[in-house]
Amino acid sequence: MTGVRTTIGSPVGPLLLAADEGGLRLIEFASPRHPVALGDGWVDGDSAVLDAARAQLGEYFAGTRRTFDLPLAPRGTAFQRSVWSALAGIPYGATVSYQDLATRLGAPTATRAVGAANGRNPLPIVLPCHRVIGANGALTGFGGGLPTKAFLLRLEGALPDAADLFAMG
């Protein structure tokens, strides 16, 4: 499978974007907790999907975009894809707990599995895993780091500017 990848600048640092004929496959932070191995056949370049992702991410960071309209092609298990799909239903500026997300999926006892799938989300920001927090309101693990999670939630108005990141989890 051949695809293209590019790195763009953002307020949260460089983001690696990758797309193939199916759509956007990857948005990866500079130091990801779970790096995605794209495999062979990927080249540096541009495509219509990468151009659209770059533009929409720019609008998001500028505060003028609240939803994304991109063809997405994340790779994962059926359960992971169901979790990632559920992430897309969390509104801009809102947060849910891992327990809430598990319940939405009809698997209220699968909180840990939901958390693990959330942590493997290959399309953060677009599939907003940063909007999932601990049941007590704590900012818990995030592939881009807790300061990035706090930045994204503040950008969306879901975290007060005065919130002490280190007191939250």
What are the catalytic residues?
A: 129
Measuring CA to CA, how many Å separate 79 from each of 6, 19, 23, 58, 116? Answer: 28, 22, 20, 30, 11
Environment class of 103 (CB within 10 Å of its CB; exposed 0-12, middle 13-18, buried 19+): middle
Measuring CA to CA, how many Å separate 25 from each of 3, 73, 96? Answer: 9, 5, 25
Of 30, 36, 38, 34, the closest CA to residue 119 belongs to 34
What is the rounded CA–CA span in Å between residue 146 and residue 149?
5
What is the rounded CA–CA span in Å between residue 58 and residue 8?
10
Torsion sign, CA atoms 57, 27, 167, 132: positive
